[in-house]
Amino acid sequence: MKKGLFISFEGIEGSGKSTQAKLLKEYLLKSKYNVVLTVEPGGTLIGEEIRRILLSLENKNMLPKTELLLYNASRSQHIEELILPSLEDGKVVITDRFTDSTIAYQGYGRGIDLSLILDIDRIVNNSLRPNVTILLDLDVEEGLRRNRGINKRDRLEFEEIEFHKRVRVGYLEIASKERDRIKIIDASGSIEDVHEKIKCIITEVLERWG
């Protein structure tokens, strides 16, 4: 059986990842692909429990390394329980965030040494990477304004704006090193326009996938 296709969505807060991931799933289902849509942290029962801890406003004093380890604990369960079995079944797996988020948020945002993050990553997932990553790039202030508009409130929303700016810089640096995998899309346009750009990218990927 042909191995599945792994797609991830990345970006700062308010960039539209969740919306665009759902639209891509709907598009691929109409095109008769077998699709799994998931999210990090989360994706499994254990992952959802960890997500609750990570994003709770009650946990404002969480240490950066605690945060890093919790994200990786969720990812370990996610990979073994959902992602790898789905790929082995030949499905298209779409995830709202993956390892790039950890590098951007805990590495560039929190200042944790990148070599430590990558060492843990190798332990957790043997350096598994998506076949293609859609990076939705957006001005930080606009992203946070969008989230306020939908009343999204979690622990990361209350970080200082400089933190979010460091995360955006991190994403762009990651993308500059992996141009073949990571495709940057300007997320400032309409939902429909962004979706059309994503469809063009994914169509080419699907053609290569066969």
Give the residue among 155, 30, 156, 22 at the shortest CA–CA distance from 94: 22
pLDDT in tens, 181-208: 999 999 999 999 999 999 999 999 999 9
Q: What is the mean pLDDT of residues 36-65?
A: 95
Model pLDDT, residue 149: 63
For 130-151, give one letter per residue: b (16+ CB within 10 A) or e.
Answer: bbbbbbbbbebeebbebbeeee
Q: For residue 130, what are the domain limits?
A: 5-209
Mean pLDDT, all residues of the chain: 94
* Count of domains observed in the chain: 1
Give the model confidence (pLDDT) of 8-46 as tens digits: 999 999 899 999 999 999 999 999 999 999 999 999 999
Read off the pLDDT of residues 104-132 as tens digits, 9 standing for 90 and up: 999 999 999 999 999 999 999 987 999 99
Contacts of 34 (CB under 8 A, 6+ apart): 89, 90, 91, 92
pLDDT digits (tens, 9 = 90+) for 158-187: 788 999 999 999 999 999 999 999 999 999
Burial classification of residue 33, based on how many CB atoms lie within 10 Å of its CB (0-12 exposed, 13-18 middle, 19 or more buried): middle
- From 98, 90, 81, select the one nearest 21 (Cα to Cα): 98
Q: How far is CA 116 from CA 20, 106, 125, in A?
A: 31, 11, 14
pLDDT tops 90 at residue 143: no
Does the pLDDT value for residue 133 go beyond 70? yes
C-alpha to C-alpha distance for 201 and 130, rounded to whole angstroms: 14
The CATH code of the domain that includes 58 is: 3.40.50.300
- Residue 1: pLDDT above 60? no
Is pLDDT at 74 greater than 70 in this prediction? yes
Q: Which of 68, 73, 67, 10 is CA-nearest to residue 46?
A: 73
In whole angstroms, what is the distance from residue 128 CA to residue 169 CA? Answer: 23
Please give the Cα distance from 134 to 197 (Å, whole number). Answer: 10
